[in-house]
Amino acid sequence: MNASSTPEIISIDPANGQEVARVRATTLPELDAAVERAWKAFGESGWKSLLPHRRALVLNAIADGLQAEKERLAQLQMRDNGKPIAECRGMVESAIGTFRYYAGVCETLQTDVTPPRGDYVSFTVLEPYGVVAAITPWNSPIMNDATKVAPALAAGNAVLLKPSEDSPLLAPELARIAREAGLPENLLQVVQGRGPDIGAALVAHPGVRMISFTGGTVAGSMIGKVAGERLVPVALELGGKSPHVVFADADREHAVAAVVAGIFGSSGQSCVAGSRLFVQACIYDEVVQAVVERARSLKVDLPDAPGVEVGPLASFHHRERVARFVERARAEGGRVLCGGQAPSGGHYDHGAFYLPTVIDGLGPDAASCQEEAFGPVLVCLPFQDEADLIAQANGTAFGLACGIWTESFKRAWRIGRALEAGSVWVNTYKQSVTSTPFGGFKQSGIGREKGIDGMKLYAQVKSMYFGLHANPLPVAK
Ligand code: NAD
């Protein structure tokens, strides 16, 4: 990258194609300077040695700052990436909750006093890494930013946050609010620009001691490789092709509603979207028919329209990707039962809309049943019995989440344990809270965010021994 190749990042409102704002992309010399400032702040601000309950005060003040600007932030996110306003409000709420949660973790996290094997006392303490990189995708900016920034700061680090070039507007707001809340200058800085340019430079930067990434599997794998070569720890939250399973004994009405919400919420642009529907063969036709009817009835509209259920996709180029995905499914022999195209007329002609799409008739190995669309596209597959289901559902490279609908708790237990997924939802879907670990099996990621482990991701364990013996030579056996 050179300084002039990506001078500006333009945020386009996908609801109408209009420009929202421009931000300057960070140049390589600016990145170097930001890393240097971050280390200086880490070393001199006193943040890392601040007692945790004092750090908690600042994290709570950041939460207060987000709360005070909640509606403005939700509106900005809506224009930045097109999500329905109710979802955007929920994401700001989630960010607020995350800061408050990690303030609580600061207050309560205990480390271990380990069993001695000699005349000494031994215990662990947690140390920050120093400067960490947080790289986030475009689908839920403020929420994903908070999921990384709050625990990284709570653990005493300085953070360089790089939002997606497709949703650049929320990260600078978070950094400003954090500063105004009393976070020392330069402990949270924002780096803007394209992934392969400034993102790659950030990951490779010798001043970055830990990398936390949320995004696609391709970029995640590249980042993992660089981190491996550099021997720096990396946390990867990646994509999914999550199975949503309906057994014959399920509460049919709730299952169908959850299947539809699980894939078409956020227009399918959710890492945990239930994008593969598995229905027991004896009820397959009825359930798929009910899903199609419900999908057809969803209100596809502008993100701030009353009652909107499905907004536009986050960008016009992403809509192109989704449209190509559906064309390939057709070419593979898939039957498009609803959707399969952009709606037209009125405001639809100006925005990046795509209709909720349900496809069946494909085998589990078809590319459309294996790869992530990250859009409003559901593929439906029948299964005969539990063994058949487990083989099919586990038959992708991913393992992020799954949903199981059955009235039998014994079956739910068996299937929940057998499916390769970081989150299992039984008779519910897409519950994801800041207090519960989140992450993927297989190519859906490495590491767990959220919960207490979410803070430990950003800290390294140090073991300390205090000798008690009159003779200070090691006495351990
Ligand atoms: P992406 O991988 O293209 O980009 C994610 C971020 O990484 C962006 O900020 C981008 O600029 C940056 N980036 C891209 N290439 C890079 C590189 N070589 N080096 C450093 N940074 C790089 O993903 P996206 O299109 O923004 O988001 C969609 C993907 O994110 C989907 O696959 C989705 O499943 C995944 N996702 C996962 C989770 C999760 O928690 N598991 C959550 C949300 C989204």
pLDDT in tens, 326-339: 999 999 999 999 99
Pocket test for ligand 1, best of 23, 147, 214 (most atoms within 8 A of CB): 214
Atom index in ligand 1 nearest the CA of residue 438 equals 40
CA-closest residue to ligand 1 atom 15:
195
Distances in whole angstroms, Cα of residue 274 to Cα of each of 154, 294, 419, 423, 425: 32, 15, 14, 12, 11
Extract the tokens encoding 73.
């932030």
Q: Where would I find the H helices in 195-242?
A: 200-204, 217-230
Q: Which CATH class is domain 3-238+440-464?
A: alpha beta
Cβ 141 vs Cβ 151: under 8 Å: no
Distance 252 CA to ligand 1 centre (A): 35
Pocket test for ligand 1, best of 26, 98, 135 (most atoms within 8 A of CB): 135
Task: Provide φ and ψ at 280, rounded to 5°.
Answer: -60, 135
Inter-axis angle of helices 52-68 and 85-108, nearest 10: 170
Atom index in ligand 1 nearest the CA of residue 138 equals 26
Q: What is the pLDDT of residue 471?
A: 81
Q: What is the pLDDT of residue 7?
A: 76
Q: Which CATH class is domain 243-426?
A: alpha beta
Q: What is the pLDDT of residue 2?
A: 44
Beta bridge partners of 196: none
Atom index in ligand 1 nearest the CA of residue 203 equals 20
Q: What is the pLDDT of residue 472?
A: 75
Beta bridge partners of 8: 24
Q: What is the pLDDT of residue 4?
A: 43
Range 239-253 burial, b when 16+ CB lie within 10 A, else e: bbbbbbbbbeebeee
Which has the closest alpha carbon to 253: 422, 399, 119, 427? Answer: 427
| Cα–Cα dist 274/263, whole Å | 5
Distance 220 CA to ligand 1 centre (A): 7
CA-closest residue to ligand 1 atom 9:
164
Q: What is the pLDDT of residue 1?
A: 43
Q: What is the pLDDT of residue 6?
A: 53
Task: Give the domain ranges of the chain.
Answer: 3-238+440-464, 243-426
DSSP helix, strand, coil percent of the chain (3-state; round to 5): 45, 20, 40
| Cα–Cα dist 319/312, whole Å | 9
Active site residue ranges: 237, 271
CB-defined site of ligand 1, < 6 Å: 135-139, 162-165, 194-196, 199-200, 203, 214-216, 219, 222-223, 237-240, 271, 372, 374, 400, 440, 445
Atom index in ligand 1 nearest the CA of residue 147 equals 40
Low-confidence ranges of the chain (pLDDT < 50): 1-4
DSSP secondary structure letter of residue 475: -
